Amino acid sequence: MTSQIVVPKRWFNRLLAVVGLLGLVGHAVISSYLAWYDLSYPLHWTFTILAPICCLLWGLVPRLQLQTEHPPQPNQFRC
C-alpha cells in the first residue's frame, strides 16, 4: 500500500479535504489583505493554520483518512 496523495471519493474524506483547502485559501486571503493595508496578523496564526492543514492531510493522504477507501474490484459493477 503506497502512501500517495489521492483525490478522495468518500464523502467524509472529500469534506475534510475541501474544508482544509478553503481554510488555507482563507488564511492566504486574510494575510495578503492585512499585508496590503499594513495591518498586523495575530501572533499565534501558526496555531490557527494547523487545523486546515490537518483537515487537508486527513482528507487526501490514504493512511490518515478516517474512512478507508477501497479500490473497486476488477469484476465489480459500479454505478
Per-residue pLDDT of 8-59, as tens digits, reads: 888 888 888 899 899 889 988 988 898 899 988 776 767 778 888 888 888 8
Looking at residue 25, its pLDDT comes to 92
Identify the weakest region by mean pLDDT among 45-49, 61-65, 75-79.
75-79
pLDDT of residue 79: 59
Please tell me the pTM assigned to this model.
0.70
Looking at residue 36, its pLDDT comes to 92
Signed CA dihedral, 42, 45, 51, 52: sign only:
positive
